[in-house]
Copies of this chain bind each other. A is one copy, B any other.
Amino acid sequence: MADEKAKVDMETIVSLCRRRGFIFPSSEIYGGLNSCWDYGPLGAELKKNIKDAWWQAIVRERDDVVGLDSSILMHPKVWEASGHLVNFTDPLVECKSCNQRFRADQVEGTKCPNCGGELSAPRQFNLMFKTFMGPVEEDAAVVYLRPETCQGIFVNFENVLNTTRKRLPFGIAQIGKAFRNEITTGNFIFRSREFEQMELEYFVRPGEDARWFDYWLEQYLNWFASLGIKREHLRLREHGKDELSHYSSRTVDIHYLFPMGWEELQGIANRGNFDLTQHGKYSGKELSYFDEETKEHIVPHVVEPSVGVDRLVLAILCDAYDEDVAQGESRVVLRFHPSLAPFKAAVLPLSKKEPLVKMASDINAGLRKNIMTTYDDAQSVGRRYRRQDEIGTPFCITIDFQSLEDKQVTIRERDSMNQIRVPVAEIQKTLTAKLAGEDFLILPPGGAVVGKKG
């Protein structure tokens, strides 16, 4: 396993993302802001599609999970209770000559990597971004940007319980930004200082944690598969007893085979009753659940599957990336699951001749309300197919001169490159059926396969 390599290197992915408008360095015209990223037009669609798929699967299709959208700025006591104020630190050393700081575990030798000066003893550096609320910059006004979204769920446990009257087991899910002032960032969007999480806290009766842990592990593996991620690119890593976080009795990471190797895509932790107990203690409120069966107040345990949205975007980009050869010409193709593709179809008039452009524009306008499309009339249709392949558009709809006569268009499928002729009136129905299907390869519905063309 150690020798396995991803089929695409990071440079290729970064370059494609930059070139086609998936992801740009943040504030790029000012030289970029270290380790922050902006999602361009295609990246914004891809990321939204991923988040929407998660919300649909985890919140909307389930009776036992509700959503939440809590604020990034939280009361500072939250981070006392959670342990972040004390424990969420990296050991840093400072150079006594040039005052630069480095992570103690990443400095080799005992000299400053910058100027060769003497280094201080390691000190703990908190990774939370701090800011000041209100007009005065003093200790009393310090608040933090949340370093994780889950605490917003825990502090709302009682609010959610009281307003939804859910019975155990039930979950609270949210998607949102989190911020960590990491000293060492990198690997593109894999580790950045501003990132997005999709977190579920699933509350269960004490003693039932282990079963639900296994359940959610399996659910997530299935969910990743439903997004088209290949199972052989995922593997599980069980944390040893000595590496478990202070709050966790069991943690399993789902690793993905990224270009830089196997790295964490998702963690599932059994947090027990740590968080509710801590917030109960620090807030003076009893955060418990009245069990109708036993007539007892209990503090539920919680199983937490947590995914980094940006990591999942990266995994999906890498997993979709492919190169193949069509008609002796190599192409790059992103084999996105159609539900995630930024555009579902591209509308391409064969040339810029007015009647073709008119017909193509009408078709595009007709589809647009229900199917996310793009329109392209620049350069040869072969080049345009390549451009759509490279951004993962599952279908191309070509309007040619024959279309003016027979009111039919050619639909070309990204992966197989099969082409069929479909009446204009049936384009939407045909695409909708194909996009909804598990297998979206083109099989002749009303039209005939006219062969593989580039």
Contacts and interface: CB of A to CB of B under 8 A. Distances in A.
B160 A75 contact: no
Nearest to A138: B99
A72 to B, nearest CB: 6
Given A133-B181, A163-B21, A33 B372 contact: no
Contacts of A101: 135-136
Contacts of A67: 41, 44-45, 48
Given A44-B174, A163-B19, A163-B20, A158 B29 contact: yes
A183 B71 contact: no
A28 B101 CA distance: 37
A279 to B, nearest CB: 6
Contact of A155 (B27, B99, B369): B27
A31 interface: yes
Interface of A: 19-21, 24, 26-34, 36-45, 47-48, 52, 55, 60-63, 66-75, 77-78, 92, 99, 101, 125, 129-136, 143, 145, 152, 155-156, 158-160, 163-165, 172, 174, 177, 179, 181, 183, 193-194, 279, 282-283, 285, 287, 364-365, 368-369, 372, 375, 378
A303 to B, nearest CB: 19
Contacts of A156: 24, 28, 38, 40
A193 B73 contact: yes
A368 B63 contact: yes
Contacts of A279: 29
Contacts of A159: 21, 24, 28, 38, 40
Contact of A183 (B69, B134, B365): B134
Contacts of A134: 34, 181, 183
Contact of A27 (B36, B45, B77, B131): B77
A24 B30 CA distance: 39
A40 B68 contact: yes
A375 B179 CA distance: 37
B372 A63 contact: no
A68 B75 CA distance: 30
A131 B145 contact: yes
What 10 A-B pairs have minimum CB-CB distances, sorted nearest first?
A: A21-B163, A27-B75, A41-B66, A39-B69, A38-B70, A44-B67, A29-B283, A30-B75, A44-B69, A101-B135
Given A39-B69, A62-B368, A134-B181, 17 more contacts: A20-B163, A21-B164, A27-B155, A29-B155, A29-B287, A36-B74, A38-B156, A40-B163, A41-B66, A44-B69, A52-B52, A61-B369, A72-B177, A73-B179, A92-B135, A129-B133, A135-B183
Contacts of A194: 71-73
Oligomeric state, in copies:
2
Contact of A193 (B125, B133, B165, B369): B133
A365 to B, nearest CB: 8
Contact of A163 (B32, B41, B75, B152): B41
A26 B70 contact: yes
Contacts of A129: 131-133
A60 B372 contact: yes
B133 A130 contact: no
A127 to B, nearest CB: 9
23 contacts: A21-B163, A21-B164, A26-B70, A27-B77, A27-B155, A29-B158, A29-B279, A30-B155, A31-B75, A33-B73, A36-B73, A40-B156, A41-B164, A44-B67, A44-B174, A60-B368, A60-B372, A63-B365, A72-B194, A125-B135, A131-B145, A135-B181, A165-B378
A96 B66 CA distance: 50
Contact of A375 (B19, B63, B68, B69): B63
A75 B38 contact: no
A40 B77 contact: no
A171 B327 CA distance: 38
B29 A69 contact: no
Contacts of A375: 63
A64 to B, nearest CB: 10
A78 B28 CA distance: 11
Contacts of A160: 21, 40-41
A155 B33 CA distance: 12
Most buried by B among A40, A47, A283: A40
